[in-house]
Amino acid sequence: MYLDETMTLLFVFIESTGLLAPIIFIGIHLIRPFFFIPVPVICIVGGILFGSVFGTIYSILGLTMLSILFYFLYSQVPRLSQKITNLKQKWLGERVKFTIGQIAILRLIPFINFHLLSLCIKDVTRNFREYAKGSFYTNIPVALLYTVFGQFIREFSTTVILAILLALTLLFYLLREKQVIIKWHEFFKPKTGRSYQ
C-alpha cells in the first residue's frame, strides 16, 4: 500500500512539471535518502514516466550523483561517516572487501543500505576517479532492472522471488575476489634433495 501511494504522489508531481521533469526526477534521487524512499520505487516511477531507455539513463545519472555527493560528505560530516562506518562493521565486519561486480549485485537487493555499498566502493578504490567509475558501473544494473521490470516485481510469485535471490547469491559467489591463501609453514617449507655448500 505504501509503495502504491508513494509511486502515485511521485508520478503526479513529476508529470506536472513538463520539460523540467528529468531534472526534478534526478534531483529526487539526491533527496531520496532524507525521505526514506527505496531506490527501486524511484526507478519504477522513472520507467513509468520516461520509458525504459530514458528512465534508466536518468536513474543512473541520479544514483551516480548521489554516490559522488556521499564521497565528499563522508569526509566532511563526521556524524554521517560514523553512522555508515558503524553500519558496515555491524553488517559486514571490518575486513570484508567486495569487488565492484559483487557491489553491483548487492545494489539490486532493496534492503541493503545504498550508502553502505558506496562506502564499500570507497574502500576498494584508490582515488575519486576510480570511485566515480565504480559507482557508475554499480548503478547500471539496479537502474536498468527496476526501471524496465520494476512495475512487474510486485506481481511476482514467492517462487520467482526466491529463484531471483538464489541467482543473485550464486552470481555474488562467482564474482567474489579470488585469493589464494598459503600458510606460512607451507611457503617456507625446507627444500629436500641436494644441498649446496
Q: How confident is the model at residue 116, as a pLDDT?
A: 92
Q: How confident is the model at residue 197, as a pLDDT?
A: 46
> Which position has the grid cell 541520479?
62
Residue 31 in grid coordinates? 533527496
Q: How confident is the model at residue 195, as a pLDDT?
A: 47
CA–CA separation, 9 and 109 (whole Å): 24
Nearest to 139 by CA among 102, 101, 104: 104
CA–CA separation, 24 and 45 (whole Å): 12
Residues (pLDDT < 50) of the chain are 1, 179-182, 184, 187, 195-197
Q: How confident is the model at residue 177, as a pLDDT?
A: 54
Q: How confident is the model at residue 180, as a pLDDT?
A: 46
> In this structure, what DSSP letter does residue 110 have?
T
CA–CA separation, 131 and 153 (whole Å): 30
CA–CA separation, 58 and 52 (whole Å): 10
For the beta carbon of residue 59, count every other beta carbon within 10 angstroms: 29
For the beta carbon of residue 158, count every other beta carbon within 10 angstroms: 7
Q: How confident is the model at residue 111, as a pLDDT?
A: 78
Kindly tell me the burial class for residue 133, based on how many C-beta atoms sit within 10 Å of its own C-beta (0-12, 13-18, 19 or more): middle
